[in-house]
């Protein structure tokens, strides 16, 4: 029976993904983009934009490129701020940024170069595996991706703080998939950071529990209605209302079903119409109803596509001759889309994280040097998967990809003391991209880096008066 149900679910998922892909194709045809090809001017602008972000011999503003080699030999690309801006004789903070889909380190560039932020610590933005200038993985499951991110954070802490640690704070900031990954680390490796600052993505355990509760409640009402249709007819309406958040998210997440279609179809979605789907996402990120101007479109594409072929022939310096990994060179020629969507296909959000001995040793060494960011005990109550680290969620309420109620209702049960949920009424999904969202993020990071003195809600309102503090524990 279970195998039959599983096959039916697979068929429904496939049908919905295929229907959504057909809808995307119809939109691309309507926009006149389906058969479009890149002009010579657009190609030149993309080359220039890529050169600004990815040429290893040219520092991107006040940042510089670097690579970190994992124990398995794969390399992660990251950019780091100029440590000469840090004040002397003060504890050094470490602030690490994780991007989401379909972005790279470059989504954080305006925030990292915000006035005064680099004075609060060493700023590092890393490309997730398979994105930007980082190596590809053979599988993008939770063990592989969470393991790579954990090893990177531990290494940065060790390098800048030394084996004995220091008085500075470790802050990790994540958006979209970066947020989802950090949710899991806040629950399963809380000793990595003193505070997790998260923006606009589901916490997988909370989503699972909330969805299961809604389905259970609605199915009971529907069962009662089927057995007693006349006396309990009001239950049908209540069941539909109860299911509304899930149905809303099902509609908003149609693209996820496309990404889980057979790989040729899923890849076609990313390449059709001269990257039409990516350009659509970039319009949402910029808050624009019309196609972006050519230079802005080129910058957005350079952020998502990563280094070009020319950039892969640049080096960090003449001595080391260190350049991008071979897998990045291959992606520059064939495209990165098939790797980026693997986060949706390979179970990084839901699979158990099987920590190897090296990861367990790394985390245990942090337990010995620095206390977990949560003050709560290991056996204190709460739902399964309750976070064990202090979290500040900065959430754009106008997110077209996430149902607000489904994402945040009951989330307080999963948060530890010292956590907050801050809502931004006019901000959408790409909080780091939007002026108001970026300003609030900068204030929250500064607050956390300077010892968390004062009320973070009031501090956020100093740059955005409409800020709503939903939860403050």
* Contact by Cβ (8 Å): 142, 165: no
pLDDT at 120: 87
Q: Whose structure tokens read 């080129």?
A: 298
The percentage of the chain sitting over the pLDDT mark of 70, rounded to a whole number, equals 94
What's the pTM value of the predicted model, to 2 decimals? Answer: 0.94
Q: Is the pLDDT of residue 324 over 60?
A: yes
pLDDT at 222: 83
Give me the mean pLDDT over the 17-43 stretch: 93
**Could you tell me the pLDDT band of residue 226, with boundaries at 50, 70 and 90?**
confident
Lowest mean pLDDT among 107-111, 165-169, 243-247: 165-169
pLDDT at 239: 86
Q: Is the peptide bond before 102 cis (omega within 30 degrees of 0)?
A: yes
Give me the mean pLDDT over the 149-169 stretch: 84
pLDDT digits (tens, 9 = 90+) for 41-91: 999 999 999 999 999 999 998 899 999 999 999 999 999 997 665 665 667
What tokens does 391 get?
């979290």
Q: What average pLDDT is seen over the chain? A: 91
* Contact by Cβ (8 Å): 214, 242: yes
CA dist 56 → 88, 229, 336 (Å): 29, 68, 19
Lowest mean pLDDT among 76-85, 259-268, 324-333: 76-85
- Cα separation, 165 vs 185, in Å, equals 20
pLDDT at 370: 47
Lowest mean pLDDT among 47-56, 61-70, 285-294, 323-332: 285-294
- Cα separation, 279 vs 266, in Å, equals 16
pLDDT at 271: 92
């Amino acid at each position: 029976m279970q195998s039959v149900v599983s096959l039916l679910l697979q068929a429904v998922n496939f049908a919905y993904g295929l229907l959504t892909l057909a809808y995307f194709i119809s939109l691309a045809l309507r926009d006149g983009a389906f058969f479009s090809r890149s002009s010579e001017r657009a190609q030149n602008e993309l080359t220039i934009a890529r050169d600004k972000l990815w040429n290893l011999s040219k520092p991107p503003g006040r940042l510089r490129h670097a690579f970190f080699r994992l124990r398995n030999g794969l390399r992660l690309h990251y950019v780091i701020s100029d440590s000469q801006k840090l004040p002397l004789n003060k504890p050094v903070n470490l602030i690490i940024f994780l991007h989401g889909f379909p972005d790279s380190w470059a989504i954080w560039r305006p925030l990292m170069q915000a006035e005064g932020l680099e004075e609060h610590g060493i700023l590092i933005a890393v490309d997730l595996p398979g994105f930007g200038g980082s190596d590809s993985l053979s599988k993008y499951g939770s063990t592989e991706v969470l393991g790579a991110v954990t090893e990177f954070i531990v290494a940065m802490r060790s390098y800048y703080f030394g084996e004995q640690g220091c008085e500075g704070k470790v802050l990790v900031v994540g958006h979209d998939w970066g947020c989802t990954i950090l949710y899991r680390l806040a629950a399963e490796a809380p000793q990595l950071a003193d505070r997790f600052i998260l923006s606009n993505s589901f916490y997988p355990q909370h989503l699972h529990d909330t969805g299961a509760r809604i389905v259970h409640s609605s199915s009971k009402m529907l069962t009662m209605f089927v057995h007693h249709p006349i006396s309990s007819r009001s239950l049908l309406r209540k069941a539909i209302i109860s299911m509304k958040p899930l149905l809303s998210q099902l509609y908003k997440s149609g693209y996820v079903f496309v990404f889980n279609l057979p790989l040729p179809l899923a890849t076609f979605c990313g390449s059709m119409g001269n990257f039409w789907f990516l350009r659509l996402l970039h319009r949402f990120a910029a808050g624009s109803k019309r196609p972006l101007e050519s230079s802005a479109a080129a910058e957005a594409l350079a952020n998502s596509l990563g280094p070009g072929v020319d950039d892969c022939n640049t080096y960090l310096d003449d001595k080391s001759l260190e350049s991008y990994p071979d897998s990045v060179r291959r992606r520059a020629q064939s495209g990165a889309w098939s790797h980026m969507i693997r986060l949706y296909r390979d179970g990084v959000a839901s699979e158990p994280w099987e920590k190897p001995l090296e990861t367990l040793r790394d985390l245990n060494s942090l337990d010995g040097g620095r206390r977990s960011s949560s003050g709560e005990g290991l056996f204190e109550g709460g739902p399964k998967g309750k976070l064990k680290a202090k979290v500040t969620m900065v959430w754009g309420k106008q997110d077209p990809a996430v149902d607000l109620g489904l994402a945040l209702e009951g989330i307080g049960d999963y948060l530890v003391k010292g956590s907050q949920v801050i809502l931004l009424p006019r901000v959408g999904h790409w909080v780091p991209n939007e002026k108001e969202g970026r300003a609030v993020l900068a204030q929250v990071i500064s607050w956390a880096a300077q010892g968390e003195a004062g009320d973070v809600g009031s501090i956020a309102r100093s740059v955005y008066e409409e800020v709503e503090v939903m939860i403050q524990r």
